[in-house]
Amino acid sequence: MKNTDKLYYPVKESILSILDIVDEFVIALGDCDTDDQTLNLIQSIESNKIKVIHTIWDPIKFPSGSEYAHQTDLAKSHCSGDWLLYLQSDEVIHEKYLDTILKYCKFYLSDLRIDGFLFRYKHFFGDYNHYLNNKGWYDKEIRIVRNHSDIHSWGDAQSFKRISPFIGNNYLIKENTKKLNVIEIPADIYHYGWVRPPKHMQIKSKVMDKMYHDPLSIDKIYEQKSTHFNYGDLSKLDIFQDTHPKVMLSFIEKMNWNSELHYNNKFKLNRELMKHEKWKYKLIARIEKLLLKNKRLFAYKNWNIVNSNSIPFPKD
């Protein structure tokens, strides 16, 4: 975490969503600005399970977004459990999945053929009633791993891999890495990273772009952009018809940017198209939904799925 509160992350809600089922909750908190209230939010939870590790971010030493992986590894190095459940500050788990998570962790604890568990994803976009479910947005990712020293956060903290030998800052390498053997758990991660007031969304995008590219160049680029992010036509997105996690309800009630959202294409999209807005990805998404029952074509896959026939799944 860094400036998590001022960038409108549901940080407290993310923590509370799994606090009941973990033995400890380790947080790597970076060098936040003086006007950021992230630490105060964390302390307001008043739980002796929470352990804050204060860190310094160095995107020069860890370029192209790999500082995120570095910070994840720092938190991981202070964990003492058998299984590590990893959440980013905009990820929340619904309470209906907590028993399932515990069941899987207990059932496979002694089966060392399993390195971790794969979760499905719901990417909310613009508001809390629409989500993205098509090409260009990962539909699954590893979020539970064993507490093994050779398992590291990888890339820009998108995923995890075994990396051996691990040399300091080689989070972006592919050599000497191994995909984890995982089982898909029937549970979703609710990702709220793209639900913010448009002004906060633009600021957050700028902050993240600086982690991947030259900050001075990014400043110049954003000088030419609107100060408010344009979410585009939300009417073409999937409608969310389930419930949000209970811990999110008061955070959702703060939403006050409905007037800045669009539900038709009769407006000027003053930015480059995102992947899900390009005709190629729209076509692929339509094929996946209508012909393949939502099975992904050419999907991102940074893991090895363990054959369910070789290892029994836990039963209710």
Q: What is the pLDDT of residue 278?
A: 87
Binning pLDDT at 50, 70 and 90, where does residue 310 land? Answer: low
Q: What is the pLDDT of residue 64?
A: 96
Is residue 280's pLDDT more than 70?
A: yes
Is residue 311's pLDDT more than 70?
A: no
Q: What is the pLDDT of residue 134?
A: 77
Q: What is the pLDDT of residues 117-169, one digit of tens each?
A: 999 999 999 999 999 987 778 999 999 999 999 999 999 999 999 999 998 88
Cis peptide preceding 197, ω within 30 of 0: no
Binning pLDDT at 50, 70 and 90, where does residue 314 land? Answer: low
The enclosing H or E element of 13 equals helix 11-18
As a whole-number percent, the residues of the chain with pLDDT over 90 amount to 80
Quote the tokens at residue 11: 């940080």
Is residue 109's pLDDT more than 70?
A: yes
Is residue 309's pLDDT more than 90?
A: no
Instruction: Please give the residue that has the higher pLDDT: either 137 or 312.
Output: 137
Question: Which 3 state secondary structure label does DSSP give 206?
Answer: helix
Q: What is the pLDDT of residues 30-51, one digit of tens each?
A: 999 999 999 999 999 999 999 9
Quote the tokens at residue 130: 């629409």
Strands 50-54 and 140-146: unpaired
Is residue 316's pLDDT more than 60?
A: no
Mean pLDDT of 204-224: 96
Residue-range domain boundaries for the chain = 198-238+263-290
Q: What is the pLDDT of residue 51?
A: 98
Q: What is the pLDDT of residue 267?
A: 75
Is residue 202's pLDDT more than 80?
A: yes
Query: How many beta carbons lie within 10 A of that of residue 64, not counting itself?
Result: 14
Instruction: Report the candidate in 83, 141, 86 with the shortest Cα–Cα distance to residue 114.
Output: 83
